[in-house]
Amino acid sequence: MKNRQIASFNVSAIGLGCMNLSHAYGAPVSAEQGERVLLAAFDHGVNFFDTAALYGFGANETLVGKVLKPHRQKFTLASKCGMQGVEQSDGTKVRVIDGRPETIKKTCEDALRRLQTDVIDLYYLHRWDKKVPIEDSVGALSDLVRQGKIQAIGLSEVSAGTLRKAHAVHPIAAVQTEYSLWTRNPEIAVLQACRELGAAFVAFSPVARGFLCGPLDITGFDAKDIRRSMPRFAPENHAANLKLLPGYNALAQEAGCSPSQLALAWLLHKGDDIIPIPGTTSVDHLLDDLGAVDVQLDASLISRVEALINQNTVSGDRYNAQANSEVDTEVFA
């Protein structure tokens, strides 16, 4: 495994997004399967694991903490606050965005307990709560740094302007945003802002929520699969997007790699400061993803794959109106 840098942390060039094991794409896998995936990643050189309070309403942090505790000194641990589950009067939990300083500090205490650790290496504000000045939320995170409960601060799904305001309060070590061939929004402004400020860029959903892994049966999505609400997976848009795959798969074959590896290798070639964090519930898929670190792409192939799949050739927005209202990321006109 090759390595890249986030603040003082030397991390694997490809990390593991742990969300899939507990959240968002249907029923969670068994604890045993989750353990297999986490340990397989660790055994194959992954030393950057990404979780959040939201994922499974704490279940994902609990799983990561239990499985990886014996190896705690050998990997960089990232988690997130500011978006979590809140219990209702009937006992159910609903997702809320809450960036108030007191909520951030309580969420961190809960995360430390679930993760079975004394310190979180990289702690992100999962979403900017637009009712709270970003300076106040980052101020709370900077208090946690001073208290030794977290080591570095990250932001997720923010604009370049919000990043700069946050960075004026405390150095921002990383920005995490969706980035893949079919989601190019970071290229508008925030990726350049990260480079100017010395923040790493962590790319989630780097294989386009599974679209670039191969044909998906959208009719078979679980009732709770978040892709059901995403416009790109609506039947008409999905049918249009499927027409991109034959050409894309041909380029992967030309590069001598799998479709998933091409998507990840493209990101790795976009800059040494970019760390993709694919997620999976399958050890086989995990190992295929990790093979992307050895894929070499020439300028011609990069140009052709970018021309094939980009914001102008993909049908549908990445989020629905509700989800779009919750992020601060720049959008294409």
Residue with tokens 């499974």: 56
The neighbouring-strand residues paired with 224 are none
Q: Is 66 exposed, middle or buried (0-12, 13-18, 19+ CB in 10 A)?
A: middle
Active-site residue among 55, 124, 179, 248? 55
Determine whether 55 is an active site residue.
yes
CA distance 215 to 127: 31
Are the CB atoms for 96 and 84 separated by under 8 Å? Answer: yes
CA distance 291 to 257: 9
CA distance 48 to 40: 13
Residue with tokens 């989601």: 183
- Residues 6+ positions from 95 with CB-CB distance below 8 Å: 54, 83, 84, 85, 86
User: Which residues are known catalytic residues?
Assistant: 55
